[in-house]
Amino acid sequence: MKNLESTMAGTVFTVNVEVGEEVSSGQVVLVLESMKMEIPVEAEVAGKVATINAQVGDFVNEGDVLITFE
């Protein structure tokens, strides 16, 4: 299992993947909004999405686990 953690505080603007979906390294899996800027968050590894721990509208802090990959 590999966790994708937030690198900054912000609000989840979009979630671009679903549980069970295969993603490739570098694929944008969600977008955070911070200070009126949209920041794409990319998968660091290729794998299958096991859990999504943040939904659209959630506020996340730096270090929060956003997505877990198998």
> Residue 59: which pLDDT band, with cuts at 50, 70 and 90?
very high
Domains of the chain: residue spans and CATH: 2-69 (2.40.50.100)
Tell me, what's the pLDDT at 55? 97
Q: Where are the alpha helices (DSSP H) in the chain?
A: none
Which pTM value belongs to this model?
Answer: 0.91
Per-residue pLDDT tens over the stretch 29-43: 999 999 999 999 999
